[in-house]
Each structure stands twice: as C-alpha cells, then as structure tokens.
A and B are shown apart, each in its own frame.
Chain A
C-alpha cells in the first residue's frame, strides 16, 4: 500500500470511530430506555349519591351557597381500576371489589365482574400477571381470587398496621367496624374479612410480594410508597407511556380536583400532610397534575378530567377509558 493509501486508511479509521461510537451509544440508550406501556381505566362500580363533604371536607355542601366549592350536595364516586399492558405483562392497579347480591344496598351501581370487564378490552382474567393494590381496603383489593395467575404486590407497612390494630386492647381501635352504622376512620376500618382472606389466599399460594418501600416491578414501572397518604401502607405506581409518565394513586389520589386544588380527599386512616406529599410526588414525576390517576374522581370519564375523557360506556353502565397506547398497540375502544 502506498503512503497516500495508508494515510487515507488512517484518516478513514479516525473518521469512522466516532460514528461507530455514536451508533453504539444510540443502540445502548435505546436498549436501556424503558418501553412505554398502554393504559386503560375501568370503572369497577360507582358509589351513588355520596355527600360531597363526606368525600372532600372542603367541598361540603352549604345550602344556598353560590360558591362552586360548596354548592354540590352529593357526588357519584367511581371505583377506578387501572389496566396496564407493558410488553408481556398485564398489570392491574387496584382490583375493585366483588359486589354480590347482598351488597347492592350499600349504594353502589354499575358493577361488573373484573373478568368480564377485562374481556371488553380483549383480555382475560388469567392474563393478569401482576396486581398492585394501592391499599387493602375492601373496595380496592377485592376479586383477587378471580385473578388466578396474578402476583399481588402489597406494602409491608399496610399489613403491619392492620395487624397492630387487630391486637390493640381498646375494642373500638381493634374493631373492623366500630358500630352498625359503619366506621369512618378507626385504624382497622375498611379491612373486611373477605378482602383480607383473599390477600392471605395469594400469600398462601405463593403469589404475593410484600413490598418494603420502592420497587420496580417492570421496566420503568415503579411502586412508590406513600405511607399514611390514605392508609399506613398506601403505594403509588409510576407508569411510562407515550403521553408521558402517569402515576396511579388509589385513594392517596382519591380526587383529581383535590390534587389540582390542593385539598384533602377521602380522609380515612389519612395523615393529610402525607396526602399532600403524595400529590407533590405526582407533580414531580409527571410534571403537573394532569397525569395523576385518581381512584374516585366524580368527573372521571368526562372532558373535565381530561386524561380520562376518551371514554365509553361498557358493561352494566360502567365506564372505561383508553388513556395511552404504546406504539403498535391497537385501540380497544369500540
């Protein structure tokens, strides 16, 4: 090879090296970037005509008031369940509850079994690989036995707090229900036997992960603890999507309007300071409040809660929304 040829070869290798490095870097970055997920929201059921003040104290109805915060007497509260498809994983965030005939009098309507609702979206109950419960109250952690292949994710603090309350000597504090009219905020309130036995059923079958703090359960899908934001072991779920990151909050995010307006909502075993810190977590992760997914927002499935507006009426009058689709994912909206 001539001198000129060698020089040209050297020059070419110098030129090629950075190009190869850039290409390698890009492919590595592509491999490391978490894939985005597809997300739908389904209404497990709807609590009808709940006094607004019982849901949000700052929105309590004042007869004759013209203040928009105090002129609505009752609201209908959906019980929202997140359906999240990430690659081969099908994840539920909260699992609703199993309304049987005997619970129709509790003031709820539009219930349909979780398996039937998943079929509307083209999935089967057996396809669910993971069930993350935001907390273990009866209207959020039911139907677990109908998800035979799902691994349950529950926060360690949630279980510890229930066990603590059960062993407390004062009978009102250890009561699941403190009186026949129902409990509101006592420590074990809301953890009914059927729900807790279903949680135990998952543990017994080796299909439960007791989470202690933060945990990434799929690429980019991250459980964040939100201790005492609704219950002792509340947990949020961060989900990467084509429209940005979403954060599901269960009852730590009971109301979209509450997150937007910085008000407490659905105060049960809630430390209001921690609830606000959970709101802040969503603002930080998603860059605002629009991508915070609330469990009981009365405006769900309307354009007044924009992320849920791409909605339709499905089984038994219950509603569904298609929130985000991953590239190549087909729309499930009829």
Chain B
C-alpha cells in the first residue's frame, strides 16, 4: 500500500507518495512538525515533488483522498473481523488489583486462620442444610435442634480460637471482619435454636439474614487472605 507524507515548509506543501519498500528517513524535527525533511535514500530523493503554492492542487488531493479511503477501509475491515472473531473485551470493567503478597508474619496468620476457616465453611453450609431438610422433609424440631446445637457450639469455640490468634497490625481490619462474621454466624445458630424451642418462624428469617451477612463478610476477609480459594466451576 502507498503512504503519503505531506510536508508544508513555509506554507508551500509538498506531497510525497511512496511505496512501503522504499526506505524513508525522516528526522526528529520533521516528525515533530518542524518544516525540514531529510532523505538518505537516493531513489526517494530523485522523486519529483509536486510543487504547490499555498493550496494543494487536484492531483495531490485526489491521491491523499485515495490513501485515506484505503486506510479507512482497512480500519473498517479490521473492526469487522474483530467482531466476527473471538471477541475481546470492549470495555474493561475495572482495574483489576493484583493481590498483595503477604509478609511472613501475615502468611503465618493466614495459615493459622485457615485451619479454623476450613471448618467454618462446612459448618455454615450445615446450618443452611439443617433448614433445607427441616422445610422440605421432616419438620422435626428435635432433629433440627440436634443438627444446629453442635454448629452453635462450634461457632462459639471458633470465635474464641480466632480471638486468641496473634494478629499482625496490617491485618487487624481483616481479623475483625472475620470475627464479626463468626459472631453473626453464632447469633444465626442461636436464633435457629430459639425456633426449635418456640416454633416462631421469625427467628428463622432473622437467622437467614444474619447468615447472609456473615457469609459475605468471610468472603471479603478471604479475598485478602486466600485470594485463590474459589476457582471457576
């Protein structure tokens, strides 16, 4: 494809059309818009420039227009292919922050908390399932209580264990967030036990809301401490 270079030294424009194989050497000043053009290629230097005075003549305008149309066609074709091919994101949603590498002290905390966390998640899901089984099957409050009691005891113990962990100052906020989640899970399990005693369904509704809040909180803490803990499924 041909390329056009328009240079206007002191108001008089020169249009040069060159084939891509031709080597052109344009100095920095020319690139910056200053009116000088050096050529090191003799073939290029021998080309006869088209002189104009002030306004380019019809031939350069025609040639430049042709080149611009060709460029536009190439751009449109490229965009069309992009739409048809494997898509690329049209707009990025957000700057994706890279997880910060944890220090040795922070790693130690994360590892200690993981030993508790790995039992927190199934216990939280066990609460959900005690509710699902009760609602869809047995409607047996004693059985429901037998399922929730150990979970409530677990969350009480887990809260105490987490409070006992040495916490790096940099992770204090995350630590408190995790503790808050355990407190909410504990309250949720106690609410479910109250339902087992008095049959008041409002306890279950409130416990459900607490559970949702707690589950969101442990995700937020986990995102800092164990950023790869959930993979595409």
List the interface of chain A (C-beta within 8 A of B): 46-47, 50, 55, 77, 100, 102-111, 137-140, 145, 159, 162-163, 166, 171, 174-184, 188-194, 196-201, 203-204, 208, 210, 251, 266, 268, 296, 298-299, 301-304, 313, 316-317, 319
Contact = CB atoms under 8 A, between A and B. Distances in A.
A184 B204 CA distance: 33
Interface stretch (B49-57, B69-77, B224-232): B224-232
Nearest to B84: A303
Contact of A316 (B93, B205, B226): B93
B233 A180 contact: no
Q: Choose among B128, B136, B216, B220 the residue with the greatest number of A CB atoms under 10 Å from its CB.
A: B128
A164 to B, nearest CB: 10
16 contacts: A103-B219, A104-B96, A109-B96, A166-B125, A166-B126, A180-B114, A182-B230, A188-B122, A193-B215, A194-B216, A196-B129, A197-B128, A204-B135, A251-B233, A301-B87, A303-B84
A196 B131 CA distance: 11
A296 B90 contact: no
B223 A47 contact: no
B103 interface: no
A175 B135 CA distance: 24
A190 B211 CA distance: 18
Contacts of B131: 200, 203-204
A298 to B, nearest CB: 7
Contact of B87 (A109, A198, A251, A319): A319
B124 interface: yes
Given A102-B220, A109-B89, A317-B93, A199 B128 contact: yes
The majority secondary structure among interface residues of chain B is: helix
B148 interface: no
A319 B136 CA distance: 37
A48 B230 CA distance: 14
B176 to A, nearest CB: 15
B133 interface: yes
A179 B135 CA distance: 32
Nearest to A79: B232
B230 A192 contact: yes
A164 B162 CA distance: 28
B205 A204 contact: yes
